[in-house]
Structure 1
Amino acid sequence: MRDRRDRIRAITEFGQSASGYEGLNVLVTGADGFIGSHLTELLVRRGASVTAMCLYNSFDSHGWLDELPVDVHGEVKLLRGDVRDPAFVSRTMVRVDVVFHLAALIAIPHSYAAAQSYVDTNICGTLNVLEAARANDVMRIVHTSTSEVYGTALSVPISETHPLQGQSPYSATKIGADMLAEAYARSFDLPVTILRPFNTFGPRQSERAVIPTVMRQVLDPAAVSIRIGDTTPRRDFTYVEDTASAFLALGLCEQVVFGRAYNAGSGDAITVGDLIDMICALTRCSKPVEREDQRTRPEKSEVRALVADSTRLQEATGWHPTIGLREGLERTADWWSERLASGRVRSELSFAT
């Protein structure tokens, strides 16, 4: 383990933390997802040898990785499996230098209906990753948390010392996974750190999230209105390329404290209602907005405000967002417009609640 830690220290001491993944063997769990696919792409462009773990399925699909640019896709080792399988995870981590653990069940509404599956994947799956990293002397693990662990803010902006509040089964399982990562750092000196992204948005995001579901309805001529739930919560949105850069920053930085969480967010918040107005203005959409109760969370479960204090991450790594909300929304609108024009989105409406 000492040789591997010396290797990562040598890389960072030469000031290459922004692009110093050349020659490193990197594993990304959950690489087939929204953030995972962007992180995989960025790692390849930074010179890493990337193994992308995707959830096995019978459709011969690697999720969003199937839509990576050809020059990137050809450089990725695609691996199907499941973080719930400890033997598989352990075999996957042989000779791996850095692990970015993103595999998780994330749909908050579904967590109310199938809480056990979230425990199995988010908690037990994380335990398998930590045990495998420990057994294989991995030199750095970046575990993915979520701003949802804070619940409704008791004070804003939210720093990492804010109390953790499980306001959904999903957030409760992410709190449990975070505590496992902290415990393994304390108990076994495991070099694991925790990234806690606030709301991330951009191309490839599922319509479960608010920005893509609004963007789809705004741009799809088959939608005569914009159907949405509660428009009053405030959210801190970060463009996906900036979130991916935060992962890379934590993956090499020597100033991080193992077992500690680091927020990644812009520090600016906007209500869902004002966000819809901004998207409509950017796209010149005049469709009416209709509230649907089925899209709202249970009364005591809604998180009213999430605004990040990312000072800890910025001081440790120098990271800060570079793409503002307006520019990110423009890029996202361009992506949705292209997909709708090319027919790669189903014509029938089935917008997520």
Structure 2
Amino acid sequence: MSSKKRILVTGSDGFIGSHLTEHLVRAGHDVRAFVLYNSFNSWGWLDHAARDVQSSLDIFAGDIRDPNGVRKAVADRDVVLHLAALIAIPYSYHSPDTYVDTNIKGTLNVVQAARDSGARVVHTSTSEVYGTALTVPISETHPLQGQSPYSASKIGADQIALSFHLSFGTPVSVLRPFNTYGPRQSARAVIPSIVTQIANGRRAIKLGSLHPTRDFNYVTDTVRAFEAVMESDAAVGQVLNAGSGFEISIADTVKVIAETMGIDVRVETDEQRLRPEKSEVERLLADAGRLRALTGWAPEYGGPDGFRRGIAKTVQWFTEPANLARYKADLYNV
């Protein structure tokens, strides 16, 4: 095991953040979990973490948009793994101001606090910043294309983070995961949407566009990428793609899920799920060579076989009645 670190995970109440937080606790680190303050005292997915994980956590309820709370949360940490963000693309069409406030200003608050405290930052980007692939596989030098307010806000956040490294020497790395999937993901994402619709008895499932391709990353591979970047001095100042290197269309993803669940389905196009034509990202396929070279990371769920194994684990989790009951599969989740 690496040396014990004092780590702050922002967005630890979310899908990837909760998996990452649990992993770091079990690896023996001192973990502070930054969760979004709410009157229910909910810790998001960490409410469902094992008792030994919960009892080991330092929970910090706050808002990434508030510089004072962020500064306090960062103050005594060695590392900040910054995942807190608004990520739903359709909601960014509806409420773009909130994406600027949360994603750009929130990231500014994190790197400003890290500059003051000396903490190292691993900032979370997204493959959406590349837009539709102009060349494949997509390396970190691919042009950035803000095809939605969400992706534009993440481009801005990435550049703010990198600017603090270049301007002030703040030790920042930018990790750019391609589409992560797995247990706990929001049903606004395509894989949980497919699985929960089928699990709730639908045989005609509603989806948006079927022809775009994605490079899907199983969540434990994404978690391992964060850990690898955090541990690598060579990753400081770098932008690093994390992807499986396997490309599959949404239509073929439906087939894999249906086969895994042993169900025949048909797809109906739901107009409200379609992105505006010029906003749809048609193709994503990662070149993760830089991450592999600098950290030794490699996906454990790569290729078609790895994708099927990841889908099987995802289906198993979502089809457990207690888990399925948490999702409103009859509604379109923006």
The within-5 A match list for 1:93-172 is: 93-138=74-119, 140-172=120-152
Q: Which amino acid aligns with 1:244?
A: V
Check whether the contact 2:197–2:329 (CA below 8 A) recurs between aligned residues.
Answer: no
* Counterpart check, 1:186 vs 2:166: yes
TM-score using structure 2 length: 0.96
Query: Could you tell me how far 1:150 is from its partner in structure 2?
Result: 0.2
User: Is 2:281 aligned against 1:303?
Assistant: yes
SS at match of 1:181: helix
Does the CA-based 8 Å contact 2:196-2:327 persist in structure 1?
no
Could you say what secondary structure the match of 2:147 adopts?
coil
Q: CA deviation at 1:67?
A: 1.1
DSSP-derived class of the 2:56 partner: coil
Report percent identity of matched pairs: 52
**Residue 306 (structure 1) shift:** 0.6
Residue from 51, 56, 61 that aligns with 1:75: 56
Gaps of 5+ in 2: none
Query: Quick one: distance in 2 between partners of 1:21 and 1:194?
Result: 22
CA contact (8 A) 2:12 2:21 kept: yes
Q: Does 1:177 align with 2:167?
A: no
Q: Which amino acid aligns with 1:280?
A: A
The answer to whether the 8 A contact 2:187-2:327 is kept is no
Structure 1 residues without counterparts, runs of 5 or longer: 1-18
* Correspondent of 1:53 among 34, 37, 57: 34
3-state DSSP class of the match of 1:255? helix
The answer on 1:26 being equivalent to 2:7 is: yes
Task: State the alpha-carbon separation in 2 of the partners of residues 348 and 174 from structure 1.
Answer: 28
How far 1:345 moved relative to its partner? Answer: 2.8
Note the C-alpha offset of 1:52.
0.3
| 2-structure distance, mates of 1:75, 1:112 | 39
Contact 1:238–1:265 (CA under 8 A) maintained in structure 2: yes
Q: Secondary structure at the match of 1:28?
A: strand
Q: Deviations over 1:287-338 (max 9, x none)?
A: 3211111101001100000100000000000001112111110000110111
Look up the match of 1:332. Answer: 314
Deviations 1:173-220 (A, max 9, x none): 000011111110000000000000000000000001000000101111
- Judged with a 3 Å threshold, the aligned counterparts in structure 2 of structure 1 residues 341 and 36 are, in CA distance, closer, same or farther, namely closer
How far has the Cα of 1:346 moved from its partner?
5.3
User: Where does residue 234 of structure 1 map in the other structure?
Assistant: 213
- Give, as a single letter, the amino acid of the residue that structure 2 aligns with 1:332: T
Q: How many residues align?
A: 330
Which residue identity is paired with 1:330? A
Q: Structure 1 residue 350 and structure 2 residue 331: aligned?
A: yes
| Offset from partner CA, 1:31-80 (integer Å, 9 cap, x none) | 00100001001100111010000111122211011111222122111111
Distance 1:206 1:226, change over 3 A: same
Give the TM-score taking structure 1 as reference length: 0.91
**Alpha-carbon RMSD:** 1.3
